[in-house]
Amino acid sequence: MSSSDDTGTLGKAIHLLDLIASAQDALRFSDLLKLTGQPKGSLHRQLRHLVVEGLVDISPDGAYQPGIRLLKFASRAWARNTVRKLAEPHMKVLHEITGETVHFGMLRGAEIVYLDKLESRQAVRMHSQVGNASPVYCTGIGKAAISCLPEDRLADLVHQMRFHRYTASTIADAAALQDALGPIRQRGYAEDLEEHQAGICCVAASIVVASQNFIGGISVTAPVFRAGPSEREKWVAPVRQAASSIAEDMTHGLSPAHQDR
């Protein structure tokens, strides 16, 4: 088998894992057949290999779900992630100042993947999980991150987006997103005002480390009844400071000189 065939097989297996792990409800063989467009025989073989390796499990009703081995990989990757470790102390400072939920995420395509989270100390909180991804156009970290992209890369990314209106406040088209990014660049932070989840808002700042090819951000998130304009204004300076400190630590902490010590 050629190297290109090997790459294709691996890519299909990863795509299968991604579908199974990302699905809100466990997927059956017929679901995966429609989603992948693969021949039945090839799909059967790939699923069988994934099950044998413990990366996928079959539920009693015949549906496919993430396997225990895959969860172990994810847990170890999260625990050993150097970027997350560098960000953690600054997240804790921001969490102590605000008392609200703090998210740290990175740009991946047209989504923000959440690398870490510190939960609010308040009784009413938002639902989110480390490892989940959210669209950039309706999240604070997402808008902050893409506001730093070069114009050509931003144009390509926006062209790929498929806008979905999650709430009445969601940015629903490319023109509206471009209009929103100008003020974000000028003031140095972004807000999500019930754009992804009704009743939830956030203040976010971008983290850009060119030497590490990292673009992401950090945010403070809370229910709107606890976070009016005056409260969000108080978060701006601490959020921007946290973003700046993380970027500085990533620049030095991930440098080859530092890693050789």
- Is residue 26 very low, low, confident or very high in pLDDT (cuts 50, 70, 90)? confident
Domain boundaries, given as residue ranges, for the chain: 3-72, 81-259
The lowest-confidence range among 55-59, 139-143, 163-167 is 55-59
Q: Tens digit of pLDDT for each residue in 71-100?
A: 677 766 665 678 888 999 999 999 999 999
Give the type of residue at 200. Answer: I
pLDDT at 235: 97
Q: What is the CA radius of gyration of the chain?
A: 20
- Is residue 124 very low, low, confident or very high in pLDDT (cuts 50, 70, 90)? low
**Cβ atoms of residues 251 and 211 within 8 Å:** yes
Q: What are phi and psi of 220, to 5 degrees?
A: -115, 130
Q: What ranges in 99-149 are assigned the alpha helix state H?
A: 140-146
Q: Does domain 81-259 have CATH number 3.30.930.10?
A: no
Q: Does domain 3-72 have CATH number 1.50.10.10?
A: no
**Cβ atoms of residues 47 and 32 within 8 Å:** yes
pTM higher than the cut 0.85: no
Q: Tens digit of pLDDT for each residue in 128-146?
A: 666 788 999 999 999 999 9
Q: Which of residues 5 and 173 earns the better pLDDT score?
A: 173
